[in-house]
Amino acid sequence: MLGGSVLWFRHGLRLHDNPSLHSALEETSGPFFPIFIFDGETAGTKVVGYNRMRYLLEALDDLDKQFKKYGGRLLLVKGKPSAVFRRLWEEFGIRKLCFEQDCEPVWRPRDESVKTACREIGVTCREHVSHTLWEPDTVIKANGGIPPLTYQMFLHTVATIGDPPRPVDNAKLRGIKFGTLPLCFYEEFTVYDKVPNPEDLGVFLENEDIRMIRWVGGETAALKQMQHRLAVEYETFCRGSYLPTHGSPDLLGPPISLSPALRFGCLSVRKFYWSLQDLFQQVHQGSLCSTQYITGQLIWREYFYTMSVNNPHYGQMTDNPICLDIPWKSPEGDELERWASGRTGFPFVDAAMRQLRLEGWLHHAVRNTVASFLTRGTLWLSWEHGLAHFLKYLLDADWSVCAGNWMWVSSSAFEALLDSGECACPVRLGQRLDPSGEYVRRYVPELARVPTEYIYEPWKAPLDVQERANCIIGKDYPAPVVNHIVAAQRNRNAMEDTKMEKNHAKQRGRPLASSNSGRRWNSPLDYQQTGREKIY
C-alpha cells in the first residue's frame, strides 16, 4: 500500500489557478495520479458532436503534454469513476481524491457515487470551487437560503459576499512522483496510452470538414487567446469605454470570445475576471471605479449557475418552477429537422445553423436569431429542442448557461414582462448585420451567385434571376418553411394569450430578471471589437 493522491479532471482542464492540484500535491506519501475518466457523461460527453469532442480531446492532449515535461502523463481511462477510484485504492492505497466542483445538479449523482465509495474505503475527498467566481451555495445562503430572484438581487447578494477570490499560484510539478497504472487496469478498463481521436470514442464527422474558423482546445491556446483579448480590452478602456460591442458584429472574422475555454475550464474564470479588473484599474489609475459591466457577462454566467444549482429540472419545462408553461406546438412534418440542418429557406437562419454544425460556433446575435426563429418568433416550437441541439454542437454550451438563455430568448423565464412584441425578423436582421450577404454565401454555397438584393429573400427573385444564379427555389434551395410574417403575428397573439392566462409571474412566483437588463445570449464575453450599439 503506497498511498498517494488523485487529481480527477472533469471541467477545469488546466494547471493554472487549480486549487485541486495544490491539494492533491500536499499528499507526499505516494504517487500522484492525474486522471480523466471517459464515463459517457463527464464534460458533456453524453450527447456530443464532433467539434465539441475534438475540443475536449485537444484540451486533454495539452494537459498530457504539460505533465510529460515533468516526467508524468495524464491518465485516460474509460469506465465508471467510483470503480476506477476503488481499484486505485486497492492497488496503491490512495489516500486523497481531489477535484474541482461541478455545481450543476446534472453532475450530482456521479459525484455522490464517488463520495460514497470514498467514504467506504477511507479515502479523503477534497472538492474545490474554481469553475465559478463564487460558490453558488454560498450565494444562496447569503440570500437567506433561496436563489436570488432577480439579476439585480444577485448583484446585491454577491456584493455583500465580497470580491471573488483571486487565482491561486501555479503549482510546482518539478520532482513530483507520477503514478502509472498496472497491467490489471488494462484488463479491467479501457486505458488509452495516448489521447484518442473522436472516432475512437464513436463520434464522427457528419459532413466534410470545411471549417472556416478553427477552434483549438487546451490551456496553452486559451492563455494565448486571453492575452489577445486583453489587448482588445485595453484599447477599449483607453477609449473611455468598457463594453466592446454587439452592434456591428464581424460575422466572418475570427471571433475573440473566450467562452469555449471558460466552459471547459481551459481558462480560469477567476484569472480572466481579475485580469480585466486589474487592467481597468491600470488604465484609469484609480480615477474611475470599476463596475459589474466590465465583467458583466461573466456575472450573468454566475447567475445562471446559481439559479440552476438546486433545480434538477432547470433544463426542461416539466416540473421547472422558474419556467413559464408556454403551450408550444409539436413539430409538424420536417420543420424541426429543417431548422437543425439549415434548410428552412431563410438564408440567414440556414447559414447560422450550418456554421454551427461545421464549426461549433455562432456569434451571439446569430444565436438570438435562430433561437427566436425556433420558438416565439416563427416556428413556435419548444426551447427544449434548441437546447438539445446546442448542447450537442455548440462548443461553449453548458447545461446551466445554455438552458438559461434558451428560456430567456423564448420568453419562458428571466424577464419581467413577456416581451411578446419583440421578434427578430430573419430577413431584416440578416440585411442589417451582413448587408453584402457574404456570411450567407460562405455557409450556404448554393446561394453564392444570387444577387445581393435577393440574398435574404431568394424566393422573391424572378425566375430568370434564379436561373442565372443556378439556384432554383424549391429545387436547388428550399422555399421558406413557413410564411414568417403570418407566423410571427400568430405567435405574438399566442404570447399575449399566455400572458393574460398566466397573469405573468405574479400568480406563479417564478424568478425573473429585471426588465431593463436587455435581451442577450449569455455566451461569456462573446462580442466583437467594432461598433457600439446593441442588437436589440
Task: Pull the grid cell for residue 228.
Answer: 489577445
Task: Give residue 297's pLDDT.
Answer: 85
Q: Name the nearest CA neighbour of 27 among 7, 53, 50.
A: 7
**Same-domain check for residues 239 and 375:** no
- The whole domain housing 244 covers 220-309
What gap in Å lies between CA 30 and CA 22, rounded to an integer?
15
| Residue 343 sits in the same domain as residue 298 | no
Q: Are strands 96-100 and 124-128 parallel, antiparallel or unpaired?
A: parallel
User: Within a domain: residue 47?
Assistant: yes
Task: In whole angstroms, give the CA distance from residue 485 to residue 134.
Answer: 44
Same domain, 282 and 355: no
Amino acid identity, residue 140?
I
pLDDT value for 422: 63
Indicate which CATH number applies to the domain containing 268. Answer: 1.25.40.80
Whether 274 and 382 map to the same domain: the answer is: no
> Distance between CA 294 and CA 532 in Å, rounded?
15
* Cα–Cα distances in angstroms (integers) from residue 82 to residues 78, 97, 115, 116, in the given order: 12, 11, 8, 8
Q: For the chain, how big is the Rg over CA atoms in Å?
A: 24
Confirm if 300 and 443 have CB atoms less than 8 A apart. Answer: no
In a domain, 324, yes or no: no
Place of cell 435574404: 456
What DSSP letter does each residue of 508-523 carry, written as one string? Answer: T------GGG------
The values of phi and psi at residue 127, to 5°, are: -110, 130
Q: Which of 77, 108, 129 is the last residue of a domain?
A: 129
364 with 455, same domain: the answer is yes
Strand pairing class (75-78; 32-38): parallel
The pLDDT score that the predictor gives to residue 168 is 98
Q: Which amino acid is at 224?
A: K
Please indicate, yes or no, if residue 519 is contained in any of the structural domains.
no
Q: Which of the listed residues 293, 309, 325 is the one where a domain comes to its end?
A: 309
Tell me: do 355 and 466 sit in the same domain: yes
**Residues 283, 359: one domain?**
no
Continuous segment of H or E residues that includes residue 6: strand 5-9
DSSP bridge pairs for 62? none
What is d(CA 36, CA 51) in angstroms, rounded to the nearest whole number? 19
CATH of the domain at 112: 3.40.50.620
Q: What is the pLDDT of residue 512?
A: 44
Binding-site annotation, residues for FAD: 242, 297-304, 396-398
Residues 382 and 298 in one domain: no
* Residue ending a domain, choose from 129, 158, 184: 129
Q: Does residue 504 lie in a domain region? A: no
Q: Please state the domain count of the chain.
A: 3
Roughly what angle, to the nearest 10 degrees, separates helices 81-92 and 108-121?
20
368 and 246 in contact (C-beta within 8 Å)? no
Task: Find the CATH number of the domain harbouring 402.
Answer: 1.10.579.10
pLDDT on residue 253: 82
Q: Is residue 270 part of a domain?
A: yes
Mean pLDDT split into 10-residue runs, the chain, 536 residues: 91 98 94 97 92 97 98 98 97 97 96 97 97 97 92 93 96 96 96 96 85 88 95 86 60 87 98 94 76 79 96 96 93 97 98 95 92 96 98 96 94 68 81 95 97 98 98 98 94 85 54 40 35 23
pLDDT at 209: 72
Q: Is residue 446 part of a domain?
A: yes
The residue whose grid cell reads 481499484 is 87
Q: How distant, in Å, are the alpha carbons of 20, 53, 529 from that of 168?
A: 10, 29, 30
pLDDT in the model for residue 511: 47
Give pLDDT, residue 500: 78
Distance CA 508, CA 530 (A): 41
Residues 104 and 21 in one domain: yes
Binding site: what residues are annotated? Answer: 242, 297-304, 396-398
